[in-house]
Amino acid sequence: MKGLAKRIVPCLDVKDGETVKGTNFVNLRKAGDPVELGKAYSRAGADELVFLDITASFEGRKTFTDMVTRVAAEINIPFTVGGGINELSDVERLLHAGADKVSINSAAIRRPELINEIATRFGSQVCVCAIDARLDNDGWHCYVKGGRERVELELFEWAHEVEKRGAGEILFTSMNHDGTKNGYANEALARLSDELSIPIIASGGAGTKEHFRDVFTLGKADAALAASVFHFGEIPIPELKSYLRGEGIHVRI
């Protein structure tokens, strides 16, 4: 499992059909058309993409599903979609529109059986469980509602349960690191990677090429997700990959 190439995954937060980016989950700035950005990332050598519908109201859902159909028609790398997925029919709709995987977060915490249902119906590889957690005074705790509400779940216990229920991957975002560009939560990531056998996607904190190197070496992550450093052209993907390869990290070029 761990001998696979490390993946670079741009993440696009989509609001009303536009890509946006914030810091610590707030202060959103516009970053362009998600389909065009997706195409550009695919051409630049991204391994996968994640599209998150951050305002998944009914209207937003329709806009987002249309976008997924357009993305599927235009790009040829795997992509994951998340936001507002509460039941199997939501998963079905997005897979039918062309998504490869779905990411669930709050819905899985509300009703953990959803993980089992998705894995049983569509296969574990379709189910990415996103966990937003923060290091509080009393340890790592999970949050829902875009990071606004703390729940009584400890990060590592929840991660174990998620794996047991059949999730194929965990997308872990450290809220302390999100948008700060000070590096990933490598200590927590390494512990997740050591304790679990499914791939861990790291999210929150990318600011330099060294941060990507560290997340793969110190953090032992299988994939690194980032947004603003890619959207605003601060770190071109081809440059990042050749740097990582120079550092002895196995990436696809």
Query: Cα(51)–Cα(46) distance, rounded to whole angstroms?
Result: 13
53 an active-site residue?
no
- 13 closest CA partner among 95, 80, 78, 59: 80
Q: What are phi and psi of 26, to 5 degrees?
A: -135, -175
Residue whose pair of structure tokens reads 């904190």 in the numeric block: 205
Q: Are 209 and 240 in contact (CB under 8 A)?
A: yes
Which residue among the candidates 47, 53, 90, 132 is catalytic per the annotation? 132
Let me know if 132 is a catalytic residue. yes
Nearest residue to 28 via CA among 191, 207, 231: 231
Catalytic residue among 13, 47, 90, 214: 13
> What is the C-alpha separation between 126 and 79, in angstroms, rounded?
10
Strands 7-15 and 223-226: parallel
As annotated, the active-site residues are 13, 132
